[in-house]
């Protein structure tokens, strides 16, 4: 079990990992060429009750998870930067060399992951982490002051690089997609966008850690107010961007600032959940996923490849709609919630965490408890 001080940190990270799969599953279920057509199908007026149900599922996941979970995970990554470097500084370790080796190996892992699946985010995180290193000593206010303009730039950049309209032959009066297609390395503009987004969100996560906000150091009343107001504000911003884009010829994306607001609200909700002791056994399982975030993230890739790729079960060829994708999501979640706690009960780290730590510490880490 994790140190109580970081209980909320691992719980939030675990929920972020589970939530990311709500979005990533479509990137496994469809090829890059097919993905655009898949998303555009949800801009059409539904003809049947079943189509309406799928549109509702897609819309809810877009509103509550699209970019929000990745933003949440980026914030946690930023918080972990301060946690790691503070620990290394206190123990008089070679902070700089260990930190850069850590992110060098993460970038290599990201490239390997990218060769297997086009939706990788590890490479982007490693680059952002290297860039952010000189800013780790800044105070909370300075980190937030730096993050805000970068997020604004990312918002403008996102609006200019995301297609405003789908092909007219498939476009109806329904809402336009706000999806950023994950051609991370192949499309330099999208790669830059992801760097801007992850960098600004990591800065916010660093500020949240230093303030104690993400560690649950604030009063319940503050977390309740933030959850109550920020989540609806984020949803409102997302819908505003969609509506404005419908009414004029230019695409306006407000998903980046909305994701920051909603993610901050989600952090507040999760901390309140942790304090309530509701579903404590379930929380402990999510914490185990948070403690093994890298392994849990790659676990989703491995199991999805087995499910969707033609070389294995091959469900990618079936063009699964949102309902069937959701069923698979639930199965994958259940598998993780059952198997990962068993591993954590016996070992100190997930297998990929163990390999990663061994490589950047330059010594074999003890695995068994």
CA-to-CA dists, residue 184 to 36, 38, 76, 119, 124, angstroms = 15, 19, 21, 8, 8
CA-to-CA dists, residue 33 to 38, 186, 327, angstroms = 9, 13, 24
Residue 112 has pLDDT above 80, yes or no: yes
pLDDT (tens digit, 9 = 90+) per residue, 83-101? 999 999 988 779 999 999 9
What average pLDDT does range 221-250 have in this prediction? 87
- Predicted TM-score (pTM) of the model is 0.90
- At 252 the pLDDT is 67
pLDDT (tens digit, 9 = 90+) per residue, 259-311? 999 999 999 999 999 999 899 999 999 999 999 999 999 999 999 999 999 99
Closest CA to 110 of 128, 124, 131, 129: 124
Domains of the chain by residue range: 4-20+43-279
- At 247 the pLDDT is 66
């Amino acid at each position: 079990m994790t140190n109580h001080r970081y209980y909320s940190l691992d719980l939030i990270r675990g929920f972020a990992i589970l939530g990311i799969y709500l979005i990533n599953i479509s990137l496994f279920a469809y090829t890059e060429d097919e993905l655009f057509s898949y998303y555009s199908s949800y801009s059409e007026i539904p003809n049947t009750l079943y189509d309406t149900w799928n549109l509702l599922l897609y819309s809810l996941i877009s509103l509550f998870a699209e970019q929000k979970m990745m933003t949440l995970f980026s914030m946690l990554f930023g918080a972990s930067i301060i946690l790691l470097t503070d620990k290394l500084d206190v123990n008089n370790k070679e902070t700089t060399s260990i930190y850069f080796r850590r992110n060098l190996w993460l970038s290599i892992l990201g490239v390997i992951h990218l060769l297997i699946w086009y939706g990788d985010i590890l490479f982007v995180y490693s680059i952002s982490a290297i860039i952010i290193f000189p800013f780790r000593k800044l105070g909370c206010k300075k980190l937030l002051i730096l993050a805000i303009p970068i997020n604004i730039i990312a918002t403008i950049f996102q609006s200019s690089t995301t297609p405003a309209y789908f092909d007219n032959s498939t476009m109806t009066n329904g809402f336009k997609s706000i999806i950023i297609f994950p051609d991370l390395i192949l499309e330099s503009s999208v790669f830059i966008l992801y760097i801007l987004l992850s960098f600004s969100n990591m800065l916010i996560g660093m500020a949240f850690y230093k303030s104690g906000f993400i560690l649950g150091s604030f009063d319940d009343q503050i977390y309740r107010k933030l959850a109550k107001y920020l989540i609806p504000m984020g949803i409102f911003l997302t819908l505003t961007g969609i509506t404005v884009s419908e009414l004029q010829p230019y695409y306006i994306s407000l998903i980046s600032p909305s994701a920051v607001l909603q993610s901050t609200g989600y952090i507040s909700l999760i901390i309140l959940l942790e304090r309530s002791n509701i579903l404590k056994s379930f929380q402990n399982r999510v914490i185990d996923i948070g403690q093994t975030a890298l392994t849990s993230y790659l676990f989703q890739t491995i199991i999805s490849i087995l499910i969707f790729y033609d070389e294995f079960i091959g469900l990618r060829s079936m063009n699964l709609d949102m309902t069937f994708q959701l069923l698979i999501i639930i199965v994958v979640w259940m598998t993780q919630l059952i198997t990962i706690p068993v591993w954590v009960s016996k070992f100190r780290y997930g297998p990929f965490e163990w390999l990663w730590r061994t490589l950047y510490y330059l010594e074999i880490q003890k695995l068994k408890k």
